[in-house]
Structure 1
Amino acid sequence: MPMPDASLLGGSHGARWTRHRRVFLPVWLALVLLAWTLLWAWSLSPHARYLDHGGWTGPLADLCRTLPGGGWWLPTALAALAWLLMCIAMMLPTTLPLFDVFERVTAGRADRGLLLGLLGAGYLAVWGGFGLLAHGAHEALLAGVARLPWLADRAAWIGVATLAGAGAFQFSALKYRCLEQCRTPLSFVMAHWRGGSPRWQAWALGAHHGLFCIGCCWALMLLMFVVGMGHLGWMLVLAAVMAAEKNLPGGRRLSAPLGWALLAAAVLLAMRA
């Protein structure tokens, strides 16, 4: 396993910690707060319904039809923006230990700011790809519900299946394997950072970590399609749960109780359905 240079983790420690505390942490926190603020402002605006896929009708659909090619690119762009903001708001807080370690490892480099940006870009690119797949599947499902009366009559069972699937996944081996990678950021960075081609490696490190993050959290993120992407309260709850699972000392022990809670919620929803 490659080890960082001593000059990166030692020497002038006080000065580096001061810069870390005064620059990196405020910038990281400001980015997360900006994403939450924009989502909150969007949810209070007259266009709040467009945070949900249920809002891709009416005036927005009319506007799309009046623009060249707007029938596909405008709703796609708005959906991508909503998903990007949601990923920054919900997932970036879960990766603070990763960014913290990487910032310290690259503290001796003049391009550390660029490398941190590339790390985040790689991470968000992977989540963006997952978002495209999830949104595509959701649109196909909505189209099926609209065209098939028997499926429309049983639409509530889609929510039951999503809750039950998310609950069952909490007990899977894949969940725990990916969660372990997310909970050991120092080992992860040391295993994937070698310093050669630093820009590419920073992006690839972020993308690689994003894959493990998706492997750990994809089922929980799909719950947003059940409760609604514009529901900031549920977004906060899920973000807090995922951050606790990844970052708290006893976070791994939260997976099983959360799984039972989701399975119980699925049973209750099934009884109502």
Structure 2
Amino acid sequence: MKMLARSRLFAPLFVGLTSSAWLALWVWDAGPYARYLRHASWAELPLVGTICREVPGASLTIAALLHSAAWLLMIAAMMLPSAFPLFDTFRRMTVARDNRRTLMALLIVGYATTWALFGVVAHGFDAALHLVADKVPSLLVNGWLIGAAIVALAGLYQFSSLKHRCLDKCRSPLMFIAEHWRGKSARRESFVLGISHGAFCIGCCWALMLLMFAIGTGSVGWMLALGAIMSAEKNFRWGRSIGKPLGVALLAWSAWIVVQHARIV
């Protein structure tokens, strides 16, 4: 009876965790540190700016901590709902084990680790683009070209076979667990399972996630919209039908950006 009661609590707790992440992002976006999400200068931020100016090395450390905290909040808010079928299937498969909570925690940590590594790469790529733009005046003036290219890339990727192969893996959680988890070295396999699923999840969604950098990572509305699209793609039967119309829409958006700026020129 206790096991059944705990099973019924899993979905509400998962919803509560995801909702808390969205609430934290909304509060952050509405607070005095909202500019941080939009790549503000650290010297402009209250309190943090003072620390960065007075303590050697503090700027880099605080930047890394805040970037990491914001990115993990975004992942919790946007990607955990799309991975719920895997977590729930894994919970049911390990419900009789005494260490089931530890195994679930390792699965989630593995999943988050993969997305954290992707965040490092994505933020590094974004920082490199800003550095190049600062040194090339023509690129800085025509920064909209980078935005249009990212939107077009996201649109084209919707038609790629790689995306659909990764999507198939994510849409079949039971088969995925059967392929990657035997339960012999349960803790290690749980962590690796989370990493593996996170890798395929990135394979599905990396191009759409890059839109966050083109649009601005502080836009909670865009995060909510993209998170809903990615969850629908992976969790609903009709999700596969979203891909091509979304790809066409993104390509049209990229073309519109080009046309609008061509008129100005």
TM band (smaller chain)? over 0.9
CA deviation map 1:155-175 (0-9, x unaligned):
000000000000000000100
Unaligned runs of 5+ in 2: none
Q: Deviations for 1:5-36, whole angstroms, at most 9, x for unmatched residues?
A: xxxxxxxxx865442112x1122112111111
Quote the residue 2:201 is aligned against: 213
- Which residue matches 2:236? 248
Aligned to 1:21: 8
Q: CA deviation at 1:145?
A: 1.3
- Cα pair 1:64 1:75 within 8 Å, conserved: no
Residue 57 of structure 1: CA displacement? 4.9
Aligned to 2:59, what secondary structure does the other structure show? helix
Mapped to 1, the partners of 2:103 and 2:120 lie a distance apart of 26
User: Is residue 94 of structure 2 the alignment partner of residue 111 of structure 1?
Assistant: no
Alignment of 1:34 with 2:44, yes or no, is no
Question: Hey, what does 1:43 align to over in structure 2?
Answer: 29
CA contact under 8 A between 1:159 and 1:226: conserved in structure 2? yes
Does 2:87 match 1:99? yes
**May I ask how many residue pairs the two structures share in their alignment?**
259
Q: Which AA in structure 2 matches 1:76? A: A
Asked if 2 retains the 8 angstrom alpha-carbon contact of 1:84 and 1:124, the reply is yes
Give me the whole-angstrom Cα distance separating, in 1, the residues matched to 2:49 and 2:186: 44
Question: Residues 139-158 of structure 1: matches in 2 within 5 Å?
Answer: 139-158=127-146
Q: Which residue of 2 aligns with 1:87?
A: 75
- Decide which moves more: 221-230 or 158-167: 221-230
**Which amino acid in 2 is paired with 1:58?**
E
Following TM superposition, by how much is the alpha carbon of 1:55 offset from its aligned partner in structure 2, in angstroms? 4.8
Question: The residue matched to 2:237 in structure 1 has which SS?
Answer: coil
> Could you tell me whether the CA contact under 8 Å between 1:126 and 1:210 is conserved in 2?
yes
Gap regions ≥5 residues in structure 1? 1-13
1:197-212 matches, within 5 Å, as 197-212=185-200
Corresponding letter in the other structure for 1:210:
G
SS of 1:212's partner is: helix
Determine if the alignment matches structure 1 residue 233 to structure 2 residue 221.
Answer: yes
* TM-score normalised to structure 1 length: 0.91
2:249 paired with 1:264:
no
RMSD of the TM alignment (CA)?
1.4
Shift of 1:186: 0.6
* Distance (Å, rounded) in 2 between the aligned partners of 1:223 and 1:163: 7
User: Which stretch of structure 1 is more off in the superposition, 63-72 or 132-141?
Assistant: 63-72
Distance (whole Å) between structure 2 residues aligned to residue 34 and residue 90 of structure 1 = 12
Whole-angstrom CA distance in 2 between matches of 1:243 and 1:137: 25
Q: Does 1:129 align with 2:111?
A: no
Structure 1 CA distance for aligned equivalents of residues 88 and 235 of structure 2: 12
Three-state SS of the structure 2 residue aligned to 1:223 is helix
Q: TM-score, normalised by structure 2?
A: 0.94
CA contact (8 A) 1:32 1:89 kept: yes
- Identity score, percent: 47
SS of the aligned residue for 1:25 comes to: helix
